[in-house]
A and B are shown apart, each in its own frame.
Chain A
């Protein structure tokens, strides 16, 4: 059973601080890794994806991937109240002749003003 695990939280971070979200996965063959943000009552939307070891930065967001340790993280710098949401980690695996995303249960992030 291929799994993706996240701490469900809530993770409470003061405004302006760095929020760090972590995700571990079980399938060593995983190829691409995605972070989605989901506001309450809304649909998930992609923030970043990463497929190479190391860091990938996009504005205030940095995704970090360590395939040897099988974890991927998302850092949010200068956290804003508008960043308060559930963050879903998804991992792409090969399923037969196709690809499939395996989803974590999400981490609820609360940014306190």
Chain B
């Protein structure tokens, strides 16, 4: 039943480590997104893929690398984790065209870097 799923839900790791977050959607959407939400609740777009093609690539450190093996999956790999990477990371999906681009969000991955 789950529309947009993310794993893991919680991730606690040491500075300098490399980690990955996985996202999958079963809504048949053609576009997927990664957002970072910091402690002040500001939702910031990081990347967006449409049919496996990168269409939005905001100013994000090169340590963050998205990968979309197919249009139902979008993963995020983070190298050399830093304290400032601690946040909640949300995956979302939508149809790209039309008037309503309602984005459906996954449950989020709370990343804590120690």
| A residues at B contact (CB < 8 Å) | 31-32, 34, 38, 42-46, 49, 51, 86, 88, 92, 95-96, 98-101, 103, 105-106
In Å, the complex CA distance between A66 and B96 comes to 24
The A/B interface has a contact count, at CB < 8 Å, of 53
Q: In the complex, are the beta carbons of A100 and B45 less than 8 A apart? A: yes
A46 (CB) vs chain B CBs: closest residue = B102
Query: Residues of B with Cβ closer than 8 Å to A?
Result: 40-45, 48, 50, 55-56, 90, 96-97, 99-103, 105-108
Which residues of A sit under 8 angstroms from B41, Cβ to Cβ? 38, 86, 105-106
The distance from the CB of A58 to the nearest CB of chain B, in whole angstroms, is 13
Of B56, B103, B105, the residue contacting A98 (CB under 8 A) is B56
Contact A105 B40 (CB under 8 A): yes
Q: Which of B40, B43, B56, B107 contacts A103 (CB 8 A)?
A: B43
User: Which chain A residue shows the least CB distance to B53?
Assistant: A98
**A residues in contact with B96, CB < 8 Å:** 98-99
Whether the Cβ atoms of A44 and B105 lie closer than 8 Å is yes
B20 to chain A, nearest CB (A): 20
